[in-house]
Structure 1
């Protein structure tokens, strides 16, 4: 885009959305990159150079984008639509994430930050509890090998891999638990892969030696199950039992949520509670409301369901209470609500690597919601 051409927010937001959906053409991606590179002191190849979790590099890119927007003398519109897909916000995608950056934000945004406490986004961290009760703290920098009988456990950064090295006779149960503000990846002894969201856990054997493969989860876990028709895979999530042959699906079983939900992306799963069972097709979500014996079936946006696994918050007409629950688990904050939150719904996409202040600024620009940060409490007020 030539330097004297007016800044077209809608055009570049559309390009960014196409990049996120995987439908952007090589020429469109070139235009998006060229726009970003214009006027930059440091030329950055966005898809190759950005490394998730490197906060300094992350901030340098965002600072460069802000500098460029300011240099183009773009002004924020005085009025905002009801949601934060406003023309004042431009979606700039950096590698696997997306950032909502704001043009000339109002200096009087109703957010108060306690400078004595830094609230950082979550990262790869977990605690592994072995069968003998011994615990091992894991983080994104760890490199280690743990031997349990004939099972070799290797940690490589934010991933833990189990592999059988012989005929296993003594099998023990291990539990991998992520705290609030943590996530982790796990490869089970059969090759099944699991992604744990914040405040989640999975309990599993060091080897699958019986007729079945069985694990127990809390919180939210995404599975890619290794196929083995002779040894069915079972997931126990609260009151729900899930039977699997080979598939990709997401389980959400946080105790603070109103329902346990299993969402099928590929393959086939059967969900059940006592004698009530339901066979899901790809694209379907089974929900078991609290204190209910019957499942509901819906067809959610699958990208929205598993966005957390890909390092993204993706909201679609989501109420602020539900949004703050997600932010609370990832940023380890405590939301406090004041006023009526009914109808305070938002849509949009932002990287889970963004600072909490960025997310709150984004929401506050609608002028529907005010925020105040006090320590780890975030007070959410409706005018």
Structure 2
């Protein structure tokens, strides 16, 4: 396959629109070029520790978490009063029964990859294990490390903020970004962030679609503003996560350190560590937050406490680049609590969810079909 053609197919793969024929071509191409692969299409780093699934079923899901490596699954209807069991289970992909075993094995976890759109419109593919130097812009050096980290470093004395860059992650991709002011940002799957190459003026403003975790460099004279769907977050220096996916019913801003202000056209609220703002339509409220769940994705885990199945499956869809179909809409509201490695095979994740005894799954092509146990 010519380089131009593989680039076009790979772009469709990154955007989650690749057809079955595209995937077959990519697999064939990768098999021939895996020792000299500039795109790292099928490269997924894993160790024995992240391949294992630890499962714990316990009576009271509100007990303190002994270890986040232990998976806690509980649905009220499936628990027996006065009964607590700890189980160590190891699930391999071939233990999960599917209508299409070959496809299940081909659905790999996400990895570090993104597309960088420069100020001139040129796009650069950022992939895992690929170190590259990107042409400087606006007195700023840009380098992508092999660990999936894009770093901006101001090289000139004059700051010019007219140049905007955009980082976009596909389904099944995430990336770490360090802005020119030293702010660190982790971008989750199916997300994008637009930002100045360097900052000048009274404010530092970025725009986010999807989910990102921020560790903002402290600069009292230049507040940091994050613009998302329907709201603006203002900070001086803090750690927080914003979840603003278009397919989520609410926008969540969870604060871990510092203090932030969240504003909409009608409301303004201040958030303290351990709290979150929740924007639903035009209604903005503050409540307590599970900070570990909020940033689990950044730490390489799926984590959910009392989260409904539909919400969990949206996370699965983004990370494994698959579509989800519910045969029975009633199962969408089943509450789940659990933790599992972000780098587990999709079969491990589905098998874990089936332990609730309330749902079952089958995989057809790149679609996961959810049905009840009846």
- The interval holding the TM-score normalised by the smaller chain is 0.7 to 0.9
Residues 214-229 of structure 1 aligned to structure 2 (within 5 Å): 214-229=205-220
Distance in 1, matches of 2:121 and 2:262, equals 31
Distance in 1, matches of 2:101 and 2:149, equals 34
SS at match of 1:185: strand
Residue of structure 2 in register with 1:140 after alignment: 128
2:150 is the counterpart of 1:160:
yes
Gaps (5+ residues) in structure 2?
Answer: 1-42, 55-75
Gaps (5+ residues) in structure 1?
Answer: 1-51, 66-79, 91-99
Distance in 1, matches of 2:227 and 2:183, equals 16
Distance in 1, matches of 2:50 and 2:279, equals 44
Contact residue 129 and residue 175 of structure 1 kept, 8 A = yes
Residues 191-340 of structure 1 aligned to structure 2 (within 5 Å): 191-289=182-280, 292-339=281-328, 340=330
Residue of structure 1 in register with 2:179 after alignment: 188
Distance in 2, matches of 1:222 and 1:141, equals 22
Residue of structure 2 in register with 1:18 after alignment: none
SS at match of 2:208: strand
Give the TM-score taking structure 2 as reference length: 0.75
Distance in 1, matches of 2:141 and 2:221, equals 24
Alpha-carbon RMSD: 2.8
Contact residue 83 and residue 366 of structure 1 kept, 8 A = no
Residues 14-25 of structure 1 aligned to structure 2 (within 5 Å): none
Residue of structure 2 in register with 1:369 after alignment: 359
Superposition deviation, residue 110 in structure 1 = 5.5
2:332 is the counterpart of 1:345:
no
Closer/same/farther in 2, CA of residues 322 and 83 from structure 1, 3 Å limit: farther
For this pair of structures, how many residues does the alignment match?
A: 303
Contact residue 172 and residue 319 of structure 2 kept, 8 A = yes
What is the aligned counterpart of 1:112 among 99, 109, 114?
99
